[in-house]
Structure 1
Amino acid sequence: MIISPISLRIAQEFVRLHHRHNKPPRGHKFSIGLKNSSGEIVGVATAGRPIARHFDDGLTLEINRTCTTGERNANSALYGAVWRAAKAMGYRRCITYTQADESGASLRAAGFVRVKDIPPRAGWAASSVALKDKRDPLGNGGVARVLWEIRSHQNDQ
């Protein structure tokens, strides 16, 4: 498999077609594609500013999405490629989230460590009875998640 840069538009379309529970990200700092030997995209990752304000320190990058068509080791390859690019750009920390029922094997294989279990949140419209039936079924509202991170060490510069 071959790592290559891709546009946000291409990453968004791939996520729209293949991701099982999230919408395409709205923005990014960069996107990475994973192509098979025929040149077909079989996975994408997008990375951007951390969604949580307290992580947005200028040295932390968040992997907002990874999405593959199921090829073995594709997610690990994407996580590793994002982290190598992030370190080359001067980032010192990279974070991402999984749903609590996901194993995190791809993240561990890429060197990420589990940091924190996050309980389910009801979402922005949780208190509004009127909006209850209009909520989007995609996303992470009401789902327990796990925060993962990888950090550079002082000697890795």
Structure 2
Amino acid sequence: MSLKQAREFVAAHHRHHAPPRGHKYSVGLAGPGGELVAVAIVGRPVARHLDDGYTLEVTRLATLGVPGSCSRLYSAAWKAARAIGYRRMVTYTQGGETGASLKASGWHKVRDLPPRPGWSTAARPRRDLGADNIPRTLWQAGTPPAAADA
């Protein structure tokens, strides 16, 4: 699906983040009547140390609450990434989210991350994008390149 379509869906239905600016690709899930019920936007990892050329990140996933839609999108996103040569995919959940859809899709928890105060400083003010002061969990599908090459 197009980034424009995916961004519009995320803007209307994501619980706590605005749509990302770009993507590598986006996937959508159609309901029984053909209507769009969920989208996943996949891009380069936001964290520079993960941007190794072999890793992608699910930067947004939004649904209308259709059972199983998150798991299906995480699986489809990872399948597409492997098909074009990527070895790992990551995403984050916020504190309080269980990661049940990720577990059901075969992803595994890498680590819990403590809350961070944000990126804004007096010298370089930035607005809060919804992730400041919130603990997160890093999840992964696939294998990091170093482990895959060993």
| Partner deviation per Cα, 1:106-155 (whole Å, 9 max, x = no partner) | 00000100001111111122x44xx6xx944x52111100000011597x
Query: 3-state DSSP class of the match of 1:103?
Result: coil
- 1:120 corresponds to which residue? 115
Select the residue among 133, 136, 144 that pairs with 1:145. 136
Q: Aligned equivalents of 2:18 and 2:82: distance in 1? A: 27
Percent identity at matched positions? 53
Output the aligned Cα RMSD: 1.7
Q: Give the TM-score normalised by the residue count of structure 1.
A: 0.86
Unaligned segments of structure 2, at least 5 residues = none
| Paired amino acid for 1:115 | V
Count, aligned residues: 143
Kindly report which structure 2 residues correspond to 1:39-54, keeping only aligned pairs within 5 A, or say none. 39-54=34-49
Equivalents in 2 of 1:52, 1:146: separation in Å? 14
One-letter amino acid of the counterpart of residue 36, structure 1: G
TM-score, length basis structure 2: 0.90
SS at match of 1:98: strand
Q: Does 1:33 align with 2:28?
A: yes
CA distance in 2, matches of 1:123, 1:26: 19
Residue 94 of structure 2 is matched in structure 1 by 99
2 CA distance for matches of 1:58 and 1:135? 29
Deviation by residue 1:40-95 (Cα, 9 ceiling, x = unmatched): 10000010101111111111111101000100000000000000000101111010
1:11 equivalenced with 2:6 (yes/no): yes
Partner of 1:75: 70
**1: CA distance, partners of 2:29 / 2:83:** 19
How many angstroms apart in 2 are the aligned matches of 1:139 and 1:9?
21
- 1: CA distance, partners of 2:11 / 2:48: 26
SS of the aligned residue for 1:50 comes to: coil
Q: Which residue of 1 aligns with 2:58?
A: 63
Structure 1 residue ranges, 4+ long, deviating more than 6 angstroms after superposition: none
